[in-house]
């Protein structure tokens, strides 16, 4: 072994490494830096104080170190020395031959210093990997005596990179990495980033900061072209006033409306949607476009009606579909239907019934991929017809026959809003000759109960019409409550028209049974505990009492007799316009129009389905056992 080199291993400060020279004499060299037997961390303080000079002796004479060598009582080496040798033999580590290394505070303890310029990273990584803590004895040259102070750091050469290892000379100071931050600093940075992102989204800009800056830099955008203004400072308090005051263009006015009229508790829900055929894909089938427009305008309302309209539109689209070349109808029809489904979602959030029907159709398409085009077309049309017949039409008839067993002479039945299944049940009971009375409870803004009242009154059923505010008064006369359902969730909760929960809880308080009529295709695997997590927000203009509102009613405005004989003056016109006219101009006024609410399962007595009368908590059983058999 070359006496000009020395090996530093896992040895304490009282142990010394002895090598045998070719002449047969021993060279005793003192380890420059003590290393703990249980860690690889050198003691730099001891290194500075105890470093010595080791000079090779080619004549073969013994050279003693400046510190006495520590030997066990038996004359053997320290117990740590075999451990060092075994590790060297196991990993096959040999003293490196590379020289001219930059001095580093870690030198002398076996840690290699960084090369100038940061080159040959792979070799440096190999030197420091595993347990191979070996280095050249000399940090400057192998031809002269070793340095007496191995911990002294040599200054970097002029114009060279600093000792920290930056590549390519001087660089711009970069932001500290998250790994070097404390937990509190990382949390603060994340909160700051979330606030900036929320500010951009609320202002109508892309969530990405880079894309938002591009929008701001566009000359035709509604925002100020100065990107130095942070969107995060556009909120709250006086800064919001500045952002709103700066809204001059049409696009900025819309963002102003969103900033001022959005209710924070329901900000996660989609805003009211309006159908826009100009943005729709050009290859949409006209039947789907027409169905989407009617749903957006609430001309088609109700879970069953929306599902039937969707399936009939898809039936026409499949019937008129022309298979592209080099493909088959079964393999391409789903790709063709996806834009139609997306368009319906943009018109109005998809109902649970629509989602289940579309999943069923996709399931049938996926099962029959190898059929010829005409056979596949005929099969898919047949499956759509069978779904409407079996899961909706026939299911309603079975529910009606089972519900007739619960209606008796002299009953006073209360129902809320309008459900097509409940309407069919009440008309069938009246046609059967059962003498009963119906109390129709209704609420703003849609007043759907008026359609049910009109149908029952035309059939000769004794009816009473009240608003939801009078539910406590009329509940004393009721002995049964029959309700419809938009969906039944997996935890047994009833998801239905807003106000259903109030009716069910009022009936439960007076020990009145609550009967729900619902088809099984409306069952959902979703679990929901309140009405805040998932809901649909309607157009807030429906709550405004102005004359231009299609959903307004004369009972909510001043009667001409109240306004006086001269009803053409400005005062009477302003009085008849409605108390909420111009509500969007009022900064402190916000309107919320939720369409659905959630009724807990403990307020529902029984659910009438086409598979029988079941408790609402049996929804998971129906989804697991019966529906797979019905789909076959």
Question: What are the CA-CA distances from residue 315 to residues 11, 324, 330, 370 (Å)?
Answer: 84, 19, 14, 20
Are residues 506 and 433 part of one domain?
Answer: yes
Are residues 476 and 369 part of one domain?
Answer: no
The angle, 0 to 180 degrees and rounded to 10, between the axes of the packed helices 449-459 and 420-431 is 10
- pLDDT at position 248 over 50: no
- Comparing 77-91, 315-329, 400-414, the range with the smallest average pLDDT is 77-91
Are residues 472 and 603 part of one domain?
Answer: yes
Computed from CA positions of residues 226, 227, 229, 234, in that sequence, does the dihedral angle turn out positive or negative?
positive
How far apart are the C-alpha atoms of 448 and 299, rounded to whole Å?
Answer: 12
Are residues 122 and 87 part of one domain?
Answer: yes
Closest listed residue to residue 139, CA positions, set 181, 182, 188, 105: 105
Residue 151 in any domain: the answer is: no
State yes or no: cis peptide before 445, omega within 30 of 0.
yes
Residue position matching structure tokens 């007799």: 561
Are residues 85 and 230 part of one domain?
Answer: no
Boundary-marking domain end, from 128, 160, 176: 128
How far apart are the C-alpha atoms of 603 and 502, rounded to whole Å?
Answer: 10
Q: How many CB atoms lie within 10 A of CB 16?
A: 20
Q: What is the CATH number of the domain that holds 320?
A: 1.20.120
How far apart are the C-alpha atoms of 453 and 438, rounded to whole Å?
Answer: 9
How far apart are the C-alpha atoms of 233 and 375, rounded to whole Å?
Answer: 62
Specify the higher pLDDT residue, 294 or 237: 294
Residue 497 in any domain: the answer is: yes
Structural domain total, the chain: 4
H, E, C per residue of 102-126? CCCCCCCCCCCCCCHHHCCHHHHHH
Domain range holding 355? 277-386
Q: What is the pLDDT of residue 628?
A: 64
598 has which bridge partners? 495
Cα 388-393-395 angle, rounded to 5 deg:
110
Boundary-marking domain end, from 261, 291, 307: 261
Are residues 497 and 408 part of one domain?
Answer: yes
Residue 155 in any domain: the answer is: no
Mean pLDDT of 240-264: 55
Q: What is the CATH number of the domain that holds 438?
A: 3.40.50.10470
Question: What are the CA-CA distances from residue 217 to residues 36, 161, 248, 574 (Å)?
Answer: 60, 38, 17, 44
- The DSSP code for 389 is I
Boundary-marking domain end, from 128, 159, 176: 128
Are residues 403 and 525 part of one domain?
Answer: yes
pLDDT band at residue 554, thresholds of 50, 70 and 90?
Answer: very low
How far apart are the C-alpha atoms of 399 and 403, rounded to whole Å?
Answer: 6
Mean pLDDT of 317-343: 93
Are residues 411 and 362 part of one domain?
Answer: no
Mean pLDDT of 55-64: 44
Tell me what the pLDDT averaged over the chain comes to.
Answer: 73
Are residues 378 and 401 part of one domain?
Answer: no
- Comparing 161-170, 194-203, 330-339, the range with the smallest average pLDDT is 161-170
Residue 505 in any domain: the answer is: yes
Are residues 373 and 495 part of one domain?
Answer: no
- 524-540: per-residue pLDDT in tens? 999 999 999 999 999 88
How far apart are the C-alpha atoms of 333 and 317, rounded to whole Å?
Answer: 10
Residue 587 in any domain: the answer is: no
How far apart are the C-alpha atoms of 515 and 411, rounded to whole Å?
Answer: 14
Residue 82 burial by Cβ neighbours in a 10 Å radius (0-12, 13-18, 19+)? exposed
Tokens for 523, please give them.
Answer: 């069952």
Mean pLDDT of 86-90: 50
Are residues 430 and 509 part of one domain?
Answer: yes
Residue 167 in any domain: the answer is: no
- The DSSP code for 29 is E
- 343-395: per-residue pLDDT in tens? 999 999 999 999 999 999 999 999 998 899 999 999 999 999 999 999 999 99
Are residues 443 and 522 part of one domain?
Answer: yes
Residues contacting 94, CB < 8 A, separation 6+: 134
* Contact assessment for residue 27 and residue 63, using Cβ atoms and an 8 Å cutoff: yes
How far apart are the C-alpha atoms of 611 and 613, rounded to whole Å?
Answer: 7
Query: Residue 28 — left, alpha, or beta (φ > 0 → left; ψ -120 to 50 → alpha)?
Result: beta
Specify the higher pLDDT residue, 562 or 488: 488
The DSSP H or E segment spanning 412 is strand 411-416
Residue 271 in any domain: the answer is: no
Residue 252 in any domain: the answer is: yes
Residue position matching structure tokens 């400060």: 13
DSSP line for 328-393: -HHHHHHHHHHHHHHHHHHHSPPPHHHHHHHHHHHHHHHH-SSS-HHHHHHHHHHHHHHHIIIIII
pLDDT band at residue 478, thresholds of 50, 70 and 90?
Answer: very high
Q: How many CB atoms lie within 10 A of CB 503?
A: 26
């Amino acid at each position: 072994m070359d006496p000009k080199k020395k090996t530093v291993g896992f040895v304490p400060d009282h142990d010394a490494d002895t090598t045998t020279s070719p002449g047969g004499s021993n060279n005793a060299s003192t380890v420059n830096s003590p290393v703990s037997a249980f860690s690889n961390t050198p003691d730099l303080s001891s290194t500075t104080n105890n470093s010595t000079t080791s000079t090779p002796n080619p004549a073969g004479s013994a050279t003693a170190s400046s510190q006495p060598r520590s030997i066990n009582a038996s004359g053997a080496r320290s117990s740590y020395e075999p451990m060092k040798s075994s590790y060297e033999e196991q990993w096959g580590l040999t003293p490196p031959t590379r020289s001219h290394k930059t001095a580093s505070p870690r030198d002398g303890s076996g840690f290699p210093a960084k090369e100038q310029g940061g080159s040959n990273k792979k070799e440096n990584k190999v030197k420091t990997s595993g347990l191979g803590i070996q280095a050249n004895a000399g940090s400057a040259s192998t031809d002269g005596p070793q340095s007496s102070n191995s911990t002294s750091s040599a200054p970097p050469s002029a114009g060279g990179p600093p000792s920290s290892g930056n590549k390519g000379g001087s660089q711009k100071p970069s932001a500290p990495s998250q790994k070097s931050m404390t937990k509190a600093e990382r949390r603060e940075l994340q909160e700051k980033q979330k606030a900036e992102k929320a500010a951009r989204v609320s202002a109508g800009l892309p969530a990405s900061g880079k894309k938002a800056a591009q929008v701001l830099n566009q000359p035709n955008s509604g925002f100020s072209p100065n990107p130095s203004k942070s969107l995060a400072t556009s909120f709250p308090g006086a800064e919001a006033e500045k952002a709103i005051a700066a809204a001059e263009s049409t696009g900025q006015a819309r963002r102003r409306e969103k900033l001022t009229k959005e209710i924070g508790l329901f900000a996660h829900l989609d805003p009211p949607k309006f159908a826009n055929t100009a943005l729709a894909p050009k290859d949409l089938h006209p039947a789907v476009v027409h169905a989407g427009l009617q749903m957006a305008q609430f001309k088609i309302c109700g879970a069953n009606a929306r599902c039937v309209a969707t399936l009939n539109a898809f039936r026409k689209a499949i019937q008129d579909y022309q298979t592209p070349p080099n493909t088959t109808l079964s393999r391409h029809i789903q790709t063709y239907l996806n834009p139609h489904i997306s368009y319906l979602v943009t018109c109005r959030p998809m109902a649970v019934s629509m989602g289940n029907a579309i999943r069923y159709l996709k399931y049938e398409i996926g099962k029959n991929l190898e059929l010829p085009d005409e056979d596949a077309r005929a099969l898919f049309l047949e499956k759509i017809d069978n779904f409407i017949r079996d899961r909706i039409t026939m299911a309603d008839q079975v529910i009606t026959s089972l519900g007739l067993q619960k209606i008796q002479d002299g009953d006073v039945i209360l129902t809320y809003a309008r459900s097509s299944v409940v309407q069919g049940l009440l008309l069938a009971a009246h046609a059967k000759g059962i003498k009963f009375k119906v109390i129709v409870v209704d609420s703003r803004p849609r007043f759907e109960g008026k359609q049910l009242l009109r149908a029952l009154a035309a059939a000769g059923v004794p009816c009473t019409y009240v608003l939801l505010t009078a539910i406590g008064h009329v509940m004393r006369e009721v002995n049964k409550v029959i309700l419809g359902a938009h969906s039944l969730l997996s935890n047994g909760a009833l998801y239905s028209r807003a106000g259903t929960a109030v009716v069910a809880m009022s009936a439960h308080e007076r020990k009145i049974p609550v009967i729900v009529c619902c088809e099984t295709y409306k069952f959902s695997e979703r679990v929901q505990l309140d009405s805040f997590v998932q809901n649909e927000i309607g157009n807030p203009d429906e709550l405004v009492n102005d004359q231009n509102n299609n959903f307004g009613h004369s009972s909510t405005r001043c009667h001409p007799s109240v306004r006086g004989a001269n009803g053409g003056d400005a005062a009477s016109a302003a009085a008849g316009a409605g108390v909420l006219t111009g509500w969007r101009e009022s900064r402190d006024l916000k309107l919320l129009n939720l369409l659905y609410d959630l009724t807990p399962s403990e307020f529902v007595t029984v659910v009438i389905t086409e598979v029988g009368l079941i408790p609402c908590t049996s929804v998971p059983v129906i989804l697991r056992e019966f529906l797979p058999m019905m789909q076959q």
